[in-house]
Chains A and B, each alone.
Chain A
Amino acid sequence: MGNLNLILPEIFISLSIMFLLILGVFKKDSSKITFNLSLLTILITSIITINETFSVNRETLFNGSFIIDQMSSLMKIITLIGGFLVLVISSSYLKTFKIYNIEYPILILSSILGMMVMISSNDLIVFYMGLELQSLALYVLATYNRDQLKSSEAGLKYFVLSALSSGLLLYGCSLVYGFSGSTNYDIISNKLNSDEYVLTFGIVFILVGLAFKISAVPFHMWAPDVYEGSPTTVTLFFTIVPKIAALTVFIRFLYVPFLNLIDQWQMIIVFLSIASMIFGAVAAIGQTNIKRLIAYSSISHIGYTLAGLATATNEGIQSSIIYISIYVVMNLAFFSCLLMLKRKDQYYENIDDLSGLSKNHPLLSLCLLLILFSLAGIPPLAGFFAKFYVFKAVLEQSMYFLAIVGLLSTVVAAFYYLRIIKIIYFDKEKDKYDTDHSLWLKFSLTVSTVLILFYFIFPSQLIEVVSRINII
């Protein structure tokens, strides 16, 4: 156990959670200090992660059930940064709804811990443990605004459907275990061969469970309702952080234990990808609530991410990771704008509420304009490059159908992004919104918008970091 410091980030974050819980119980009015300490925890954890694991190429712990490699450290850092920014821009929203309690940061920390375990898992049981830890925290987070009916409904819906998918996942895991005799990915990878047809069922069950977690079509039904009902900051958390973890698990499942069975799963991934891209684009058109719209938009973005995975190449995996990183930035920027739509202690989340925003809030509208064009994938904004890398990887494998369907659905998707821009810029103005936003909110909006706008000047940096990830 010489290299226990490889899991120092996880150890540190779990100790902090326990400490914060105790602090919260014994100290009165401790919400503010819990918030700040949690932020500090995430910061320190990221520093430890960078320090201890970033240079590690590939190491396993605990009989190979826990893996530290380039992908896991990168994804952990993205998760931590995402979690940090979500937490930091949540406070004024929570205060408005009088739910500024100690549980919120602690739940976020626990779900982050769960995700970090998921990201590093190299064993079915470790993976499942991490998954359940993050899911349980997320159920509670969804219902966090418990005075609102919609929030409770969202949490319950999420709980029931998520439990179902976890069941499917477990069933798939048990089948895989039955055929391979081990829960360790590396051993499974050596033992499995494609002759056993029942094994395909195991893979399908696992993929269904994972597709549910990242809300890929046709397992997306929960996403719009849950996104709409949850408090906005929690929705932001849902749209970015768990997706990173689930994507990592997806990559690891497909490319470590099941790599030999590529013929069995490649078509499934292609189908999930195409269905998500098209459905996400088409279904978003009729939406009136921004959070629902973002739910559908994130479904279609997940479709593009899966397109990269379907290629079964390192370039494909790298392009998916680049895509999800840029997607995280774009979503963060978009939700920062959404959190700014506040007037007299009330938040607005219908598309019509954006009407004529450009007259009273020119800067905010400009940011939204850039973000939306980026989400639509129009050059020279970051969103274009995300798509460019994915389609580059897809076309390398001559998967023309996937590429053309994907690009055509960007045209459909462009329609609903344009519709929001139209409402912001072309329609009649409404009342002014408040302008006294917290510094952190402005900070996160500025930074993410600048990243989106100027990504094209230095595109190589991100590629360089990601190109060290070689799974196959």
Chain B
Amino acid sequence: MNFPILSSLILLPIVGALFLFFTKDKNGNILTAKYVALFTTIVNFLISIYLWISFDQSTSSFQFIEDRTWIEGLINYKVGIDGISILFIILTTFITPLCIISVNNSVKNRLRDFLIAILIMESFMIGVFCALDLVVFYLFFEAGLIPMFLIIGIWGGARRVYSAFKFFLYTLLGSVLMLVAIISIYWITGTTDVVKLYEIGIDVKYQNLLWLAFFSSFAVKTPMWPVHTWLPDAHVEAPTAGSVLLAAILLKMAGYGFIRFSLGLFPVASETFTPLIYVLSVIAIIFTSLIALMQEDMKKLIAYSSVAHMGFVTLGIFTLQQQGIEGSIIQMISHGLVSAALFLTVGVVYDRMHSRLISTYGGLVSVIPKYSILFMIFALASLGLPGTSGFIGEFLILMGAFKDNFLVAVVASLGVILGAAYMLWLYKRVVFGKLINEDLKKIVDLNRSEYFILSCLAAPILFYGFYPDPLINTIEVSVTDLIDMHKTNLASK
């Protein structure tokens, strides 16, 4: 057994959090606390990069596996990664340090506790993407609710209590059915080990119900229409760093879950329910794009755009085509970067003007040009302009969709136009036009740390927009084998 690198990846943020917990919370210490958290997350990021480098791209089997008995004869603590999960782990470890740098101004009181919550959140999120046992997955999946509830509730805006409750109860309600399904799988097959379950397969007669139970959880988390309503509330009220984590990583748990569990474990049911997913995804794409057009609050607009983008993701996953699934994964990574960046750009002006309303702004380009340029990159990436990572994802998804179902693909393509409409209109109203609001004249451009964060996000967005090969190479074998396994499973039943 080699060095347990995945476990250390999971545990390191918790160690950092413990360290912070035992430091005194005084004003002078705030910087120290931040450095400790930053140091921990950066080390974690480096470990994950090392993981990516030493990752073998030529095989789809799980690597870096750790398998320990946890509850005798019942659950094993099993973690491991394949080409799909490693990208999400890197996304997590990449976004978290940026979040921590960004908490400068937005979180005033109890910074130390905030950092602890973010660190614990990080380790749970990494856990979700590594888990190879259903119960372990569920544990991490659910445990993430606690820190996020506190992040929204303690450091959030005016309606934070309502949003935090809505977030918690919605997600919990979805997840309990998944727990029933997981235990049922244990009794049906005698194991909750994902790798073994891939080999054994689950009897067709149970698959539909089990699939629905998993779906109820993932649909809430994705979020899919019509259970998406918690997301705008949570986003609007959460502090910037919270919104970033929520949009960039938490939502991806569900997409990842769809690929890893819904497709992998229930091939027949996935086939059966594809129309349902298509309908919900298309509604999400069109309907929430239209809602996004009407928003007056910038954060809300971006939140609705997240729902629309996740609609593309679910659509791509259930096309069950190579391009569709690869596109979904790249779209999730890209959306993770872009939505994080957009929330941060909103956070930048919110810190200065304390308003998220679009009408407060206008004509920013003449006062803060640097900000305007970066904002433009992110807005264009969000609408999927060629040359940004957003394009690769959406293009591959639509390609997969055209192969599978022409009508759905056509309707979804309309969503791309709507996406361009609301993003460009947002950008126009905020950045261009006449500078009417007198207060805006005093607004200062990005400071060094903000500039650093946003450039860090802009770089991969552009890089992978032009050269997506590193991403595609990593996932390709895993996706191919997933689809092969899916097809053989379908054929044998």
A residues lining the B interface (CB < 8 Å): 362, 369, 373, 378-380, 384, 388, 391-392, 395-396, 400, 403-404, 407-408, 410-411, 414-415, 418, 421-422, 425-426, 456, 459-460, 463-464
Contacts and interface: CB of A to CB of B under 8 A. Distances in A.
Contact of A407 (B143, B168, B176): B176
A384 B146 CA distance: 13
Contacts of B138: 379
Nearest to B168: A418
Contacts of B25: 362
Interface in B181-233: 183-184, 186-187
Give the interface SS of chain B, mostly helix, strand, loop or mixed. Answer: helix
B71 A460 contact: yes
Interface stretch (B57-65, B147-155, B302-310, B464-472): B147-155
Given A414-B168, A422-B153, A463-B71, A380 B143 contact: yes
B180 A460 contact: no
A360 B275 CA distance: 54
Interface in B90-119: 113
B72 A378 contact: no
Interface residues of B, number: 33
Nearest to A460: B72
Nearest to B173: A411
A404 B179 CA distance: 10
Nearest to A395: B183
Contacts of A378: 142-143, 145-146, 172
A358 to B, nearest CB: 8
Interface string B238-249: 000000000000
Contacts of A388: 135, 179, 183
Contacts of B161: 422, 426
Contacts of A403: 180, 183
Nearest to B21: A366
16 contacts: A379-B142, A380-B143, A384-B142, A388-B135, A396-B187, A404-B177, A407-B177, A410-B172, A414-B169, A414-B172, A415-B165, A418-B149, A418-B168, A426-B154, A426-B161, A460-B71
A417 B186 CA distance: 30
B172 A395 contact: no
Interface in B23-78: 25, 70-72, 74
B358 interface: no
Given A379-B138, A379-B139, A396-B187, A459 B71 contact: yes
Contact of B180 (A396, A404, A418, A425): A404
Contacts of B179: 388, 391, 407
Given A380-B143, A408-B176, A422-B165, 17 more contacts: A369-B150, A378-B142, A379-B143, A392-B74, A396-B187, A403-B180, A404-B180, A407-B177, A407-B179, A414-B172, A415-B165, A421-B153, A422-B153, A459-B70, A460-B71, A463-B72, A464-B72
B300 interface: no
A5 B25 CA distance: 57
A300 to B, nearest CB: 15
B219 to A, nearest CB: 16
B160 interface: yes
Nearest first, the 5 A-B pairs at minimum CB distance are: A407-B176, A379-B139, A395-B183, A379-B142, A411-B173
A407 B180 contact: yes
B243 to A, nearest CB: 18
Nearest to B139: A379
Contact of B176 (A411, A422, A460): A411
Contacts of A373: 146
Nearest to B186: A392
A418 B176 contact: no
Given A426-B161, A463-B71, A410 B139 contact: no
Interface string B117-159: 0000000000000000001001100110110011001100000
